[in-house]
Every structure is written in C-alpha cells, then in structure tokens.
Amino acid sequence: MLRNARHNKILEIIGEMEIETQEELCEQLARQNFAVTQATVSRDIKELHLFKVKGTTKRFRYAFITENESGISEKMRSLFQACVLDIRPVGNLIVIKTLNGNGGNAGVVVDRLEYREVIGCISGDDTVLLVCESAESTRSVCDRLNAIVKG
C-alpha cells in the first residue's frame, strides 16, 4: 500500500513541478511525509518507467507516459517496439525509420497516441514523418516515442 501511495505521490510531484534529480525527488517526498532513500527513489523511477525530457526552467526534468500512451494496447506497443529502427528529430519534424513494410503500422500507433504537439503524420513503406507544432515540442515527442520503444 505504501509503495502505491508513494508512486502516486511521485507522479503528482513530477506533474506539478520540474524535478531534475533523484535527490530533488527525495526532498519533495520528504516534504510530503514519505521517508525514502535515494535507492528507493531510483527503484521507483524504474518501476514507473520515468524518463527525462528537456525542462523549461531546468535543463532536464522527469516525465512519465501519459494516459493516451498507456491507452494503446499491449499488442500495438509491441508492434511499435518491434518495427521501429530509429527516431530522429529534424527541426519541427520527426522521421521514424521502420522495418520494410511497417511504416503504416508505426503510423497507426502514432496516430492513436493523439499527441497534441503533432500536427500531422504521413506514413510510407519504411518511414513515418511527423510534423510538430515547434522544434521545442519535437524533442518532447521524440523522448516519449523512444520511451515506448525502450519499454
């Protein structure tokens, strides 16, 4: 029970403020009456599949997969993981290289994720092209897509 409460509090904290280090997260949890060690926080970060993205006020911050991302089926997630070879940002574009014949499959997964930063998505045989609102949002989308690929 304590672990679930701590996980929920971690997600709440990183949703409300930019947390760059495990030490900062430990401090914030302590302020919320959670006595944790850095090793516990490190384990929690792995269990929650947190990853770092570029921050607005800090260089990096912890982030997590949103509800939309967790809403894709496990089969779709596995398909995306199996077919994606490379994800590369270029300005406000993202180029996703896939195995031959899998561009359409990867494109469907990207469409289902419904990222608000993605204006459009075009799929070819082995490539998916995403157009993002800005170059800044491109890095965030890339980080989230890479987190799905890494599982």
Helix (H) or strand (E) holding 108: helix 103-113
pLDDT value, residue 79: 85
pLDDT by residue for the chain (151 residues), tens only, comes to 588 889 999 989 998 899 999 999 999 999 999 999 999 999 998 888 787 777 778 888 888 765 445 567 777 888 899 999 999 999 999 999 999 999 998 998 999 888 889 999 999 999 999 999 998 889 889 988 998 898 7
Question: Closest Cα to residue 128, out of 142, 148, 147?
Answer: 142
pTM (two decimals): 0.58
Question: Closest Cα to residue 108, out of 151, 76, 140?
Answer: 76
Write down all domains in the chain, each with its CATH number in brackets.
2-63 (1.10.10.10), 71-150 (3.30.1360.40)
**Strand, helix or coil for residue 143:** helix
Q: Which two tokens stand for residue 87?
A: 């994800």
What is d(CA 97, CA 58) in angstroms, rounded to the nearest whole number? 31
